[in-house]
Amino acid sequence: MTHLTALIVAAEQHVELPMPTWAYGVIALAIFAVLAFVIWSYRDVANRHSHKSGPGAAEHAGAPGATHHGTGHPTQGH
């Protein structure tokens, strides 16, 4: 048997799938729907903390333990 006929015989073998082909599409759509819901659930997260951007936010900026980005690392006595 030549190499070409061996490839033709191997190509003619049929592998049975464990479920119908349309079921793979349904599973993929279900997974994407779940992931879309997870992403959708994070909408408007920044606005849930209105006290940080509200009118009195400037008062809390100097509170003990407040982080100020851009001021560098605090000195630790080194």
Contact 59, 66 (CB under 8 A): no
Residue 73: Cβ within 10 Å count: 5
Q: How far apart are CA 78 and CA 73, in angstroms?
A: 12
pLDDT value of position 65 = 61
pLDDT value of position 74 = 60
pTM, entire model: 0.46
pLDDT value of position 75 = 60
Q: How far apart are CA 62 and CA 53, in angstroms?
A: 14
Reported as a single tens digit per residue, the pLDDT across 16-71 is: 889 999 999 999 999 999 999 999 998 877 676 655 566 666 665 666 666 655 55
pLDDT value of position 3 = 83
Contact 68, 61 (CB under 8 A): yes
